[in-house]
Structure 1
Amino acid sequence: MMNARTWHTASVLTNGTVIVTGRSNSYSLQSSAELYDPSTGSWTTTSSMNNPRLYHTATVLANGKVLVTGGSNGSSLNSAELYDLLTGTWIMTGNINVAREQHTATLLTNRNVLVTGGSNGSFVLSSTELYDPSAGLWTVANNMNSGRYQHVASVLTNGQVLATGGWYNISLDSTELYDRSTGTWAMVSNMNPARYRHTGSILASGQVLITGGWDDSTIVNSAELF
């Protein structure tokens, strides 16, 4: 890459290139972004975001644009912005209702984006909200049953969203499902063990593979299926 980065994002765009956004390099926050072209193996700079940030999310929308939400620049951010691949530029797209970092932002089957949890720098959040790309509007959605950050949110084949684990004073083993048709959350069976900073991958079978992460004191080598 052209810049050293950590706590950044990397998103595959509709043309096959990858956009990398944000960074913290020796505690120096940056708004820079760059593109990787797999056909040439080369990196090029693109326009910088309007706000420097880390601990943010980047979600590729159905229209090919990239939605970046929240994060931190020393304080939790409520700003959101869109990257347009065709013009290579960033525009602001309203503010999320609650400033948050280390949250999730998941593209739903109806093309909206569900933002869940995270931290505002002082408290762990259970709040969620929805972004409508067609209108560029944010609306408050129902809270999760538990606050959580550094968790995972996975879209199931039936359109529901599975939120797993995370941290809320302790590592969490709880999981819950978001039903888009009702806008409600329901607790489901617990993981074993509790974990945060883990991954969740949708398999061809429709199952979710949960791997690794941290429990309260150690790195976890276990994996499990939902």
Structure 2
Amino acid sequence: MTNLTVTKAGNGAGSVTSSPAGINCGATCAAQLLQGTIILTANVANGSTFAGWSNGTGNANCTGTTTCDIPLTVDSTVIATFTLNAVPVSVTANVASGNGGGGTVTCSADGGTAGPCGSYLPGTAMVLTATPNSVSNFTGWSGAGCSGTGTCDFTVTSATTVTANFNWPTLTVQVVGTGSVSSNPIGINTCTTNCSAPFSKGVVTLTASSTGFTGWIGGGCSGTGPCAVTLNQNTTITATFVAPPPPMTIDRAGHAAARLANGQILITGGFSSSTFPGPPLDTAERYDPTTNTFTALAGRMRSARTGHTATLLLNGQVLLTGGQIDTNNGDGSNGAELYDPATETFTAIAATMTVPRGAHVAVLLPNGKVFLAGGFNMGFTDIPFAHNTAELYDPATQTFTAIAATMTSSRSDHPAATLLPNGKVLIAGGKDTFNNILNTAELYDPTTQTFAAITATMTSVRLGHRATLLPNGLVLLTGGVNLLNFSTPPRGTTLSTVEVYDPTAQTFTAATATMASPRVLHEATLLPNGTVLLTGGANISTNSAIVLNTAEVYRP
């Protein structure tokens, strides 16, 4: 007896039988047979092909696809290979729309022209391409081992299903602080925390609702107006709200304010009566930007004052000068005092200004001295006498010295002044000796101690307004009145308008934004974060005069 072994190979199906019987591979692939001629026959299953005999040993030197005739005299082996017939199988591309998106998928077989997907022979190289519609994004594949947003490339081995995911872009709004945001088209409605919604690609306009809205971040938006974002992909936008400042501890107009070295705002004096020019106050309070609170100070000023000035000195103390200190005719004062933040006390200065001044201006110069100019000598019940003079206060000697040069115009009744980046001082508006409210302005040069008129004029005549140097080097001019009748109570037109002075171009330009309340005889103080705190003042109209305790913030 001699051994004969048959081995099957390939991915197809079939069997091998022998004559005489003994091999049925199938189940029996090895047998001991009598020596002699053995005939092996390959039997093919449906869907397969017999590929042939190979790798024979002993007497089994068979090839081809016919029978394998073996003159069996020694142990022999042979391999029979069956292969699976190439039958087309399906490639299916599904479109998934998670939130309203849509698109199409095309198939390209073996580098051919792209078109609808169908059935392909195993071994075919497939490239599937997803194309979103005009308002959607393609967000990725699933199936066939594909992912990402490129093409889906694979080789066909069996029936395959691939899914292309299309979605509208998602807009996410993050609300910081207390406020709400809504969208047009509808999708985000009165969002007060974090909200997301899908939108078809295009322009979505967000609107913030709150008095403390400070601006947008993201989506190409900034400022405090509506945010029109062109939504082409998932986008996150932050809306920031800051609580508006609360009321002061009392209503004040004609007060003076100065930012202290610690960033807090000292607010002093003024008047709190609607009877203009009401009795002056000797009280003071502080505003803390970090806690957004006003706190009354226990210490009292050495003199009750309104229409005075408050200037932070280089040593951290605050110089208070002049103003109206009596309750009768409102004459200007020539007195001054110092506030010490360390002890929260006020101390009178022995020296006096060279002339009494009320409703004047005071500006700290780079050399540490204080420039004082204009104002009135006589009060509201007299014919006002507007100064065109100026002087300097020297903190080192605590003395006042007159400046020889005079302003190009007499200015009283609260003109506005501020130090410019070039070291000069802007003085704008006020009222002249003929009771004309001014729209003119001039510059004081500390180097030459001279005054020069500015050709450009303000966009409106103003008195009782304020000038604040912004971090960008421009000057913000706020409020005031453009018409005033010193009756009892006074009558006039208080402004809510704002304008900006450009020191480089020496021009005045009206700003689009207006104050929340018309204000005159208010204060406008730059905060450490670059915004401007506006406090108190009066709202004088043709039939009333109201002293305010409110505050608001201007955000450049």
State the match for 1:135 in structure 2. Answer: 397
Amino acid at match of 2:408: N
Moved more, 109-118 or 214-223: 214-223
Q: 1:63-100: per-residue Cα shift (whole Å, max 9, x none)?
A: 11010000002331110000111122222222111111
- 8 Å CA contact 2:417, 2:466 repeated in 1: no
- 8 Å CA contact 1:59, 1:105 repeated in 2: yes
For residue 113 of structure 1, the aligned residue among 334, 345, 370 is 370
- 8 Å CA contact 2:256, 2:267 repeated in 1: yes
- 8 Å CA contact 1:173, 1:190 repeated in 2: no
Shift of 1:39: 4.7
Aligned residues: 226
State the match for 1:186 in structure 2. Answer: 452
For residue 17 of structure 1, the aligned residue among 238, 252, 264 is 264
Moved more, 29-38 or 90-99: 29-38
Whether 1:67 aligns to 2:323 is no
Shift of 1:212: 4.2
- 8 Å CA contact 2:311, 2:362 repeated in 1: yes
Distance 1:147 1:22, change over 3 A: same
State the match for 2:335 in structure 1. Answer: 79
TM (norm. structure 1) is 0.89
Shift of 1:45: 2.1
State the match for 2:285 in structure 1. Answer: 34
Shift of 1:2: 4.1
State the match for 2:307 in structure 1. Answer: 55
State the match for 1:145 in structure 2. Answer: 408
Name the SS of the counterpart of 1:206 in structure 2.
Answer: coil
User: How do 1:180-219 residues align onto structure 2 when only pairs under 5 Å count?
Assistant: 180-191=446-457, 192-216=459-483, 218-219=493-494
Give the whole-Å Cα distance in 2 for the aligned partners of 1:207 and 1:33.
30
Q: Is the radius of gyration larger for structure 1 or structure 2?
A: 2
Name the SS of the counterpart of 1:46 in structure 2.
Answer: coil
Give the whole-Å Cα distance in 2 for the aligned partners of 1:204 and 1:161.
16
Gaps of 5+ in 2: 1-247, 379-383, 484-491, 503-556
Q: 1:31-61: per-residue Cα shift (whole Å, max 9, x none)?
A: 1223344455362423111111111111111
For residue 440 of structure 2, the aligned residue among 169, 174, 183 is 174
- 8 Å CA contact 2:297, 2:344 repeated in 1: no
- 8 Å CA contact 2:249, 2:294 repeated in 1: no
Gaps of 5+ in 1: none
Distance 1:32 1:214, change over 3 A: closer
Shift of 1:211: 4.2
Give the whole-Å Cα distance in 1 for the aligned partners of 2:468 and 2:267.
21
TM (norm. structure 2) is 0.38
Whether 1:8 aligns to 2:255 is yes
Name the SS of the counterpart of 1:102 in structure 2.
Answer: coil
Moved more, 39-48 or 108-117: 39-48
Amino acid at match of 1:140: A
Amino acid at match of 1:145: T
- 8 Å CA contact 2:415, 2:430 repeated in 1: yes
State the match for 2:501 in structure 1. Answer: 225
State the match for 2:346 in structure 1. Answer: 90
Q: What is the CA RMSD across the aligned residues, in angstroms?
A: 2.2
- 8 Å CA contact 1:56, 1:101 repeated in 2: yes
Give the whole-Å Cα distance in 1 for the aligned partners of 2:499 and 2:289.
31
